[in-house]
Chain A
Amino acid sequence: AQSVSQHNHHVILSEAASLELGCNYSYGGTVNLFWYVQYPGQHLQLLLKYFSGDPLVKGIKGFEAEFIKSKFSFNLRKPSVQWSDTAEYFCAVTEGRRALTFGSGTRLQVQP
């Protein structure tokens, strides 16, 4: 069965620290990869996506993610986090015409 793993459930960082959130998936074929963010009290928003081409994808608000096919990973990074980045982050994967499968989410808390 398809699965997406986010190993970090709760991350606490200070402002200006660097961020890396892990995401691994278990598909064998061609995948489409997404990172969504859910700020407190707001709905899910797309941060970035990868379909093909350059495996390093840049998204909104300074986020980026790197697709490493050999490791089945799509980790999210940001060089310097801000207090406003406090949110829950979800990795999601789809293959072919299958529906999106989400990871369990990572709650990021940035302390001022």
Chain B
Amino acid sequence: KAGVTQTPRYLIKTRGQQVTLSCSPISGHRSVSWYQQTPGQGLQFLFEYFSETQRNKGNFPGRFSGRQFSNSRSEMNVSTLELGDSALYLCASSFRTSGGPSTDTQYFGPGTRLTVL
């Protein structure tokens, strides 16, 4: 089975621009979560989508948004980029069932490294 794929792998943007990152989950996985990884803050949860609906949201400003499509693929958008948004953005998928607890293992993709200049 192919793993979680993320595109692009590297991205350089300037302050004020917006960016869209894409994630394709493992086939059959319906839950997709996004995380931001930085040296200072570590791994922080952004949001989780299941069946095209946002199920959980982390403590990030509204500039960070996401969506999920009917084929479970997900996109994450960051508007009005700031220098502090430079990070590795990780996507993870799991075979989480609707209404079930978070016991399913999350499988992570390689990440998109975003640099904001």
- Residues of A with Cβ closer than 8 Å to B? 32, 34, 36, 42-46, 49, 51, 90, 92, 94-105
- Are B105's CB and A46's CB within 8 A? yes
Cα separation A99 to B56 with both chains bound (whole Å): 7
Interface size on B, residues (CB 8 A): 24
Interface string of B80-117 (1 = CB under 8 A from A): 00000000001010000001111101111111000000
Interface SS of chain B: helix, strand, loop or mixed?
strand
Cα separation A34 to B44 with both chains bound (whole Å): 15
Given A32-B102, A94-B102: A102 touches B43 (CB 8 Å cut-off): yes
B41-93 residues with Cβ-Cβ distance < 8 A to A are: 42-45, 48, 55-56, 58, 90, 92
Chain B residues lying within 8 Å of A96, measured Cβ to Cβ, are 101-102
B24 to chain A, nearest CB (A): 14
A-B contact pairs, 19 of them (CB 8 A): A43-B109, A44-B90, A46-B107, A49-B105, A51-B103, A90-B42, A90-B43, A94-B102, A94-B103, A95-B102, A97-B99, A97-B101, A99-B56, A99-B102, A100-B45, A100-B106, A104-B42, A105-B42, A105-B43
Q: Contact check: which of A34, A43, A99, A105 meets B45 at CB < 8 Å?
A: A99
Cα separation A34 to B43 with both chains bound (whole Å): 14
Chain A residues lying within 8 Å of B103, measured Cβ to Cβ, are 32, 51, 94
Output the residue of B45, B56, B99 with the most chain A CB within 10 A.
Answer: B45
Chain A residues lying within 8 Å of B44, measured Cβ to Cβ, are 102
- Are B58's CB and A99's CB within 8 A? yes
